[in-house]
Structure 1
Amino acid sequence: MPIEEIAPEIIQRLIADFGGKIEAGGKYWQGGRCPACNKKSLWTLVEKPLLPACNHQAKCSYEFKTRDRYADLFVNISERYQPTPENPQATADAYLRIMRGFDLLSLRTWYEQANYWNPNGDRGTATVRFWMNPEKTIGWEKFIDKVNVRDEDGTIEARDSRFIGDFKGWCWTPPHMQIEADKPIYLVEGIFDAIALYLNGYHNVVALMTCGNFPEHIVKAYQQSGAIWTLALDNDDAGRKSTLKHIKRCTAMGLKWDCIQPSEFTSKTDWNDLHIKGKLSREDMKRYAYYGQLLVADTAENKALAMWRYNNKSFFVLDFESQMYIFRLDINKYQKTLDELRRKAGLADDETTPEELRDQAMLDSKALEKLANCLVDFVYTENNPIDNQRFYTFCIRFADGRTNVDTITGTQVAAVGDFRKKLLDVASWAKFKADADAFEWLTEKWASQVRHIHTVAYGGWCPEKGVYIYPGFGVRGSHIERVNTENYVQLGDESIKSAYHDLQITPNFDPSAYRDDWITDLETAWGHNGIILLAYFTASLLTAQIRQKQKDFMFLELVGEPGTGKSTLLEFMWKLMGRRDGSSNYEGFDPSASSASFIGRSMGSVSNLPTVFIEADRDEGKRGRFKAFDWEELKKLYGGKSPYNRGVATSGNETYAPPYLGSLVVAQNAPVDGSEAVLTRLISIYTRRDQTNQQTYEAARRIESLPFDAVSGYILKCLTQAEQLLAVFLEKTGEFERLIRSRPYARTTRISFNHAQLCAAIELLKFTTPIESESVDSAQQHIINQLVPEREQAIKRDHPYVEQLLRVLNYLEDNGDPINHYKNRADSHVIAIRLGDIYELARKHGQELAPEIELVKILKASRRYIKHNYMTCSAISGKSVRCWYLHESL
């Protein structure tokens, strides 16, 4: 399939995501909003939209691969382009044309189409296979479709290629290379890099397969050829280190060598990318050779010489071995020295000055001063997602290997004095002696390297980017990426970080350390409750995606008598989630002992994780003491509305009201008392002392003693298969909702829906634990046959405050106090009362009522409520009074 066939779909996606339009001639899509510099500067070719990029190359180098961002448009290559008798390589051909941008005219005999299948994989795939030796025993193949393989320890690994045989010392080359003395042989990392250079006229090219593999077989074969072995590895840290290592080996073998680099910076760029962008001309290669000279310079003076040759500037700043220098060239002295050197060499006025004379004149006329005893690298900018304040992140490296990464505000980077002071704050004994000219030069350079990192104010699922991001790692699809040395996570073409560092989600990333034999003890110790709570925490990792598809997500209430293991169970759930908060085991927080601001901030700091309220509804038994958390707030949280609103410290009227992206667990000794709207949003499970015995106690102790590092990998097992879990959840919710609603006792739609979600959540445990099918079925039947009817009964009961009011009304009537202003006594089910009078009479008789402000809120949401503040002709006084109308009996 030519790329042109899916190009229109790609362009539509680009317009939807970034804006922009196709220009009049129809050749370019341009004007898209660049995520890095926020300018309308993204562009790409309409016919081959493989690598959209920002056209502000001097100040922004943002680009991305559409095959990564819109992978679903490319994954059908295997289905659309099946091999035929006429073309058995049809699928491989399509992959190389579409995904790699190659013209296949001269390549068809270089590869073959094959197939890969793994018994533990989720699919088979066609491959593009290349052989490295004539016997075809050593090779490499690229999977056209990624294959998710379940390892022995249960972890899932996404694979996109594999080696065949032992390739150490071997390499891949295009056929019929012509090795000549003093001609370059380019040593690149991958086969597609090699093909990219070949198609642009650089025919002598060798693919090492990995940057650390030295191609000793071909080097020995052509050791006496006089060819120039030109290191052209990737520009990332691994590629640069391997380049220097291979150069040492070439020197030791007496080989001629050179070096080119695809970029001056360390953000990964490869030759295939440059081929797609059309950046492999002869002029381009001169620039890449210059980048190579910078990498291999062995002294600060030689690096300055290379920079001066290329830029011909009389003033610049350079770094060498993690220290910074100022280069100044005395132009008058240089010209006099050069004239003298030309005279001594006997050159006529019209003769060109040899390079070595120019170099000598420069070295005699230059001044190289140390600017800093460290290397100060600008890394990226980030915006505070709440108040939009901008920060600049710098990496400070010392020659002894010490590295500091820290952020600096705009005011601190505006003036050299402030910058120098801040540098000392963030890096011990960082001496920075730049003058105004040098600092101006540096800030202009840093501005030309601007790179923006997407920052979120929480930890968990990021809906905008479709990834999970925590302070220490991120997950995209089945791929886990740890935070890099610059404090952000690179997930494909997305650079992202979490600014909420208080969230200690720090799982053990070693899959061999993870154990899953705890599921039996969990069920033994807590029965259905343990399975249900585990399922709820597991499904909570999908909360935002579920709300997007199903609008709402259930809340869970864990109620139980003291001493029934609620704390142990919650602490274990957080262990599975990788949460480690200081030295104490984490359960949750008490909203009754917390300010509204703390509650809002805590709930806004997590995404796709539960917020756990502990002992949230205590009654101290004292007059005037009542709960601080209003359960009516649950109604808006249930659908993901913001838990709080607050102003932003700007000169305008901006407010900050982030959506609630988490779930909720309420853990306390007594059930939540609230309106029907609140109770229908909660699923309740109960732990009882009569369900405990020696066997459950021992199982709970074993659960409690499990090391954090042995179980914290559970969250990774869930996150790396989140897409599959979400699909199962959505499908099963519908199935169980239909089943529950068929039961005669299931009368409330929301209760049926919530418990269907819980049944679907339990289904997920089949994919994340070795749970027995019987345990899954038993827990689901418990939900359908016991929890649903219990919840239906719960919403028929009055709130304790309302029950208390009814008792007081009966008491007052029994004592002869007239309270009912309703004239239509034939309607004995309705009463009209004045709350102020009731409170006065209650105090007179020593009867206790809930605080009036609380009772008013509860009454309005009560099923007994009819109307309030209604003008009534009183049956008691005959005057017009305002009354509350309530159902006295239901």
Structure 2
Amino acid sequence: MYDGHTPNNRAQEIVSALRQDSRFQFKEQGNYLRYGICPNCGHKELYVSKSMPFRIECGRKEKCRMSWTAKELLPHLFENYEKRFPPTRENPNATADAYLIEERGFSRSRIQGWYRQCQWKDGNSWITAVRFPLSPDGAIAWERLIRKGQDGRKANFIGAYKGLAWVPPGQVLNQGERCFITEGIFDSLAFHHAGYKTAAAMSSGNFPDKLIKGTHGRGVVWVLALDGDKAGTTAIRKHAKRLKEMGQHVAVCLPPDGNQDWNDLWKAGKLNQELIDEGLYQGRLFMAKKAMEKAWLLHMKKNSKTFMMDHGCAMHIVKVEAAYSAELQESGLPPDSEDALDLFKGFTTITRVSNVSVDRLYLEKDMIMGEQWYVFGVSYQAGYPKDRISLDGGQIATKDGFHKALLSTTRGGTFTGTPTHFSMLNDKWHTQTLPEVKSIPYVGREDKTGAYIFNDHAFMKGVKLEKNDHGYFEIDGQGYRCNMGEISIMTEGDFDPSWLPDFHTAFSWQGLAALAWWTGTLFAQQIREKHEMYPFFELTGEWGAGKSTLLKFLWKTFGRKFEGVDPLKTTPAGRRRTFNQVSCLPIVLIEGDREGTDQMKGKQFDFDELKTMFEGGITGTLGIPKRNNATEMNPFRATLLFSQNAEVVGSKALLSRICYNHLDKSHHKEGTDKLAAWFRSCRLDEVSGYLPLILSREKELLSLFHERYAQLYDRFQTEGVKGVRVVECHACVAAMGHVLARIFPDMNEERVEGLTHYLMCRAKDRDGILKSETPVVSQFWETFRYLNQESALRDGALDHSKESNRIALNLNEFRQACQYSGQELMDIKELKAKLSESKHHQLVSKNIQVRSRVTGKNVRCWVFTCGKREKVNYNGM
């Protein structure tokens, strides 16, 4: 096991960090930190040795069984080996030493001199690498990069290694010894540290024939210990066949968990004789060609007389007569000999009960609806790809129910066994640990862990995660999967930052502002947590200015072919579902106005109903179909972009939350249309690498955003922007513009400052609009003055107030007067919503009883302020 020695002996540093970390709340007890809070189960049973603090474990062995490396819990202490352990004249391998010891868990004293530190060119920079020679002269070698390259590369080969293997220097294979063949050098080093002889084939597909031929006649047992994934197991069968053809002795050793390689097991302290014995047994099961041989191996292990067995992608019932044990004992045959197998055949019957193999994988839970279902993996004899099916409790309650469920959810699967056989199958399932997987009903950032969960990949603290073999992501000891298959987001692809100058030329400052806002949506929840807002973004544009091209391209950078949703073509329930479908991703509402169209002409979507989403408010309330009063109230986790022909009309509270941008053709010149054509026609995979790039640098980019936002907030206020929300919105987008400079080399200081200036102008413009009367209110007072003073109603009959500094009017009378005098009829509902924002005449009270100066009777009026000089003397005095 890893001896914990590092160049700087980091044990004290790790212990100090664990003491100070409020997540764990450890207590001192001799040479241990104990009673810490387990990140997985929440119980106070986490412990770690102070002298060897490189693995932290939960004491609930049966119920939790989780453990973590110090790096997994304290990643900040293990970042940047190149910076923390630079090479020195005394130790030119200092960085490589630290990496192999801390990251890989090896002892420096056991591998010193087997490698050297070198540099690998990564574009315009260099990455430190650990180089292991594969040939005596070092002309053929393998390099492991300390950190990933720009193209995601982790390792590099020098020269052709076909037929070669890496072997621990000085290792000699004697007569009849075992040699564990692994895929990689680090796995071989794990076996070497555990006390076994080993060799690394360097890849699953490489057959190390030069090593094998060099030991001819020694009776070496070659133990194929490749990875347990599909590539590894396929190669094991291929290599085993070739070894037997060469007259070699062959065995197979499989790791117990397909997600852990041998190096992982070594670091966890699990690579011991017990695990090796179990791996060799599993290898024999894996290599068993006939059902009878597999049944014999299972019987030897468990001594069961009747049991269920999977073989050849089918399920069988095995019955072993009780007389077999007595006959075997009387014969004196070794229990694991070929002769014992021949004897076993005469006492055993095997009956197929299903034409498919069904493995229970995990329990999936919907945390909102409280529902759960069991997920099974189904393998077919015909060679079809493996399926995953979800069955509820009722479908696996009886043999007949299970048979019908297989027929309806698989490619012809059946279960023809008896109820007793089905009970045996259930017993088999229940002896296995059943992981629980949380079903996420949206795409994007998950609330609890902060991980970004998509259909094909997840991102956690900047690290891209792959699904495990069962189709879900393992994050912080919990399984997660996204069940929003209808939203397809590509999380792979290329990213070349050189398109930014052309993007700026094609879409001007409005395009750069949109790109900054769009990029920031990936961090919207983190920004809301600190600043309680993320701005709405509005994009209007004249015909041919490129609005649709811009939106579709921005979606491509997030791996999606899309433009937006028309809110007037969805029901309120449909809109609520749309708002709940994504987290830290944009929702684009398009064509929310119908001005100038024949269909639905004049209709407008009421954007004011979205105001609370600025702070991440709830998207609506939905009753949950249970026998209680439970409701579902989802917070708004996404961001909003409005894109339509006309500017959004709404309350000033809404307008203050919007960063407004209008695309026009003023910046167009010769060649602009050709530049825009590339953004319109580029493939998804040419630019979809942008999203994973941003998420891989989450910590760095968020830190820069918060720093710049604080500076720009003060600057916007200093330069005259008064509205608090206006400052927040535009400073937020400007700060993301500064973040773009870390991503695009061409986002130079001139462009950053130019974008900031543009957004400053937009903020001042929005400030001015908010200070003025809205068009509806301005029209109302203009019409009122005409009707009340200049029309036939010269006695001021519309104003019922007796006070010289008040105006009191009845809105129904106002509307009748408009109709009588031929003035435009104003919508009373809209007017009531807007009059509360009147600035020149501020609202005092609405719909109250006023003693009319005109009729002498009580009239329900809206009362507004009015300066004494503005008040007309209706008696002519």
- Assess same fold via TM > 0.5: yes
Instruction: Quickly name the TM-score band, shorter chain normalised.
Output: 0.7 to 0.9
Partner of 2:255: 262
The secondary structure found in structure 2 opposite 1:542 is: helix
Moved more, 461-470 or 370-379: 461-470
**Counterpart-to-counterpart distance in 2, 1:707 and 1:130:** 40
Is the 1:564–1:687 contact (alpha carbons within 8 Å) kept by the matching residues of 2? yes
Task: From the superposition, tell whether residues 257 and 61 of structure 1 become closer, same or farther in structure 2 (CA, over 3 Å).
Answer: farther
**Counterpart-to-counterpart distance in 1, 2:704 and 2:169:** 49
The secondary structure found in structure 1 opposite 2:586 is: strand
Partner of 2:361: 379
Candidates 302, 305, 310, aligned match of 1:314: 305
1:730 matches 2:720:
no
Candidates 496, 509, 521, aligned match of 2:480: 496
Candidates 404, 407, 430, aligned match of 1:424: 407
Candidates 766, 784, 796, aligned match of 1:809: 784
Task: From the superposition, tell whether residues 861 and 24 of structure 1 become closer, same or farther in structure 2 (CA, over 3 Å).
Answer: farther
Shift of 1:853: 4.3
Task: From the superposition, tell whether residues 785 and 175 of structure 1 become closer, same or farther in structure 2 (CA, over 3 Å).
Answer: closer
Partner of 1:4: 11
- Write the deviation string for residues 364-416 of structure 1: whole angstroms up to 9, x where unpaired: 21111112222212222222243131122222121232122222223223333
Partner of 1:583: none
Amino acid at match of 1:868: S
**Counterpart-to-counterpart distance in 2, 1:867 and 1:122:** 67
The secondary structure found in structure 2 opposite 1:249 is: helix
The secondary structure found in structure 2 opposite 1:602 is: helix
Partner of 2:533: 552
- Write the deviation string for residues 808-860 of structure 1: whole angstroms up to 9, x where unpaired: 432441324534444441x3xx5344445545655666656555444333334
Task: From the superposition, tell whether residues 356 and 716 of structure 1 become closer, same or farther in structure 2 (CA, over 3 Å).
Answer: closer
Candidates 538, 559, 570, aligned match of 1:594: 570
1:304 matches 2:308:
no
Amino acid at match of 1:761: M
Any stretches of 5+ residues in structure 2 without a counterpart? 1-7, 871-877
Task: From the superposition, tell whether residues 424 and 7 of structure 1 become closer, same or farther in structure 2 (CA, over 3 Å).
Answer: farther
Partner of 2:554: 573
Amino acid at match of 2:301: Y
Report matched runs for 1:447-596 at 5 Å.
447=430, 448-476=432-460, 486-489=470-473, 495-506=479-490, 509-511=492-494, 519=500, 522-562=503-543, 564-580=545-561, 586-596=562-572
Partner of 1:231: 224
TM-score (norm 1): 0.84
Moved more, 671-680 or 55-64: 55-64
Partner of 1:170: 164
Task: From the superposition, tell whether residues 143 and 716 of structure 1 become closer, same or farther in structure 2 (CA, over 3 Å).
Answer: closer
Amino acid at match of 2:162: K
**Counterpart-to-counterpart distance in 2, 1:772 and 1:336:** 82
- Write the deviation string for residues 506-545 of structure 1: whole angstroms up to 9, x where unpaired: 37x453xx77776565444443333333333233233233
Amino acid at match of 1:753: E
Amino acid at match of 2:452: Y
The secondary structure found in structure 2 opposite 1:308 is: helix
Task: From the superposition, tell whether residues 781 and 272 of structure 1 become closer, same or farther in structure 2 (CA, over 3 Å).
Answer: closer
How many positions carry a matched residue from both structures? 851
Is the 2:15–2:53 contact (alpha carbons within 8 Å) kept by the matching residues of 1? no
Partner of 1:153: none
The secondary structure found in structure 1 opposite 2:174 is: coil
CA RMSD of aligned residues (A): 3.9
**Counterpart-to-counterpart distance in 2, 1:76 and 1:763:** 25
Partner of 1:251: 244
1:293 matches 2:296:
no
Amino acid at match of 2:348: K
Amino acid at match of 2:437: I
Partner of 1:214: 207
Shift of 1:595: 1.9
Task: From the superposition, tell whether residues 319 and 667 of structure 1 become closer, same or farther in structure 2 (CA, over 3 Å).
Answer: same
Shift of 1:360: 4.2
Task: From the superposition, tell whether residues 655 and 24 of structure 1 become closer, same or farther in structure 2 (CA, over 3 Å).
Answer: farther
Any stretches of 5+ residues in structure 1 without a counterpart? 150-155, 581-585
Candidates 649, 667, 670, aligned match of 2:625: 649
Is the 1:676–1:862 contact (alpha carbons within 8 Å) kept by the matching residues of 2? no
Candidates 70, 76, 79, aligned match of 1:72: 76
**Counterpart-to-counterpart distance in 2, 1:77 and 1:696:** 46
The secondary structure found in structure 1 opposite 2:620 is: coil
Is the 1:471–1:501 contact (alpha carbons within 8 Å) kept by the matching residues of 2? yes
Is the 2:523–2:584 contact (alpha carbons within 8 Å) kept by the matching residues of 1? yes
Shift of 1:682: 0.8
Is the 1:516–1:711 contact (alpha carbons within 8 Å) kept by the matching residues of 2? no
**Counterpart-to-counterpart distance in 2, 1:394 and 1:10:** 42
Shift of 1:247: 1.2
Task: From the superposition, tell whether residues 398 and 645 of structure 1 become closer, same or farther in structure 2 (CA, over 3 Å).
Answer: same
Task: From the superposition, tell whether residues 698 and 831 of structure 1 become closer, same or farther in structure 2 (CA, over 3 Å).
Answer: farther
The secondary structure found in structure 2 opposite 1:135 is: coil
Amino acid at match of 2:510: N
Task: From the superposition, tell whether residues 13 and 430 of structure 1 become closer, same or farther in structure 2 (CA, over 3 Å).
Answer: farther
Partner of 1:152: none
TM-score (norm 2): 0.85
Report matched runs for 1:340-379 at 5 Å.
342=330, 345=331, 359-379=341-361
1:681 matches 2:657:
yes
1:334 matches 2:327:
no
Partner of 1:762: 737
Task: From the superposition, tell whether residues 262 and 881 of structure 1 become closer, same or farther in structure 2 (CA, over 3 Å).
Answer: same
Is the 1:532–1:779 contact (alpha carbons within 8 Å) kept by the matching residues of 2? no
Partner of 1:389: 371
Task: From the superposition, tell whether residues 195 and 537 of structure 1 become closer, same or farther in structure 2 (CA, over 3 Å).
Answer: same
Shift of 1:647: 2.6
1:116 matches 2:119:
yes
**Higher RCO structure (Cα 8 Å, ≥6 apart):** 1
Is the 1:51–1:65 contact (alpha carbons within 8 Å) kept by the matching residues of 2? yes
Shift of 1:554: 1.9
Task: From the superposition, tell whether residues 362 and 54 of structure 1 become closer, same or farther in structure 2 (CA, over 3 Å).
Answer: farther
- Write the deviation string for residues 90-115 of structure 1: whole angstroms up to 9, x where unpaired: 555544444344455x5153545624
Partner of 2:382: 400
Is the 1:64–1:493 contact (alpha carbons within 8 Å) kept by the matching residues of 2? no
Candidates 404, 410, 422, aligned match of 2:393: 410
Is the 1:525–1:695 contact (alpha carbons within 8 Å) kept by the matching residues of 2? no
Is the 2:353–2:416 contact (alpha carbons within 8 Å) kept by the matching residues of 1? yes
Partner of 1:799: 774
Task: From the superposition, tell whether residues 765 and 216 of structure 1 become closer, same or farther in structure 2 (CA, over 3 Å).
Answer: same
**Counterpart-to-counterpart distance in 2, 1:327 and 1:615:** 66
Partner of 1:868: 845
**Counterpart-to-counterpart distance in 2, 1:227 and 1:682:** 74
Amino acid at match of 1:71: P
Query: What's the % identity of the aligned pairs?
Result: 28
Partner of 2:875: none
**Counterpart-to-counterpart distance in 2, 1:704 and 1:85:** 55
Is the 1:474–1:480 contact (alpha carbons within 8 Å) kept by the matching residues of 2? yes
1:194 matches 2:188:
yes
Task: From the superposition, tell whether residues 752 and 506 of structure 1 become closer, same or farther in structure 2 (CA, over 3 Å).
Answer: same
**Counterpart-to-counterpart distance in 1, 2:398 and 2:124:** 57
Shift of 1:80: 5.1
**Counterpart-to-counterpart distance in 2, 1:516 and 1:637:** 32
Shift of 1:290: 0.9
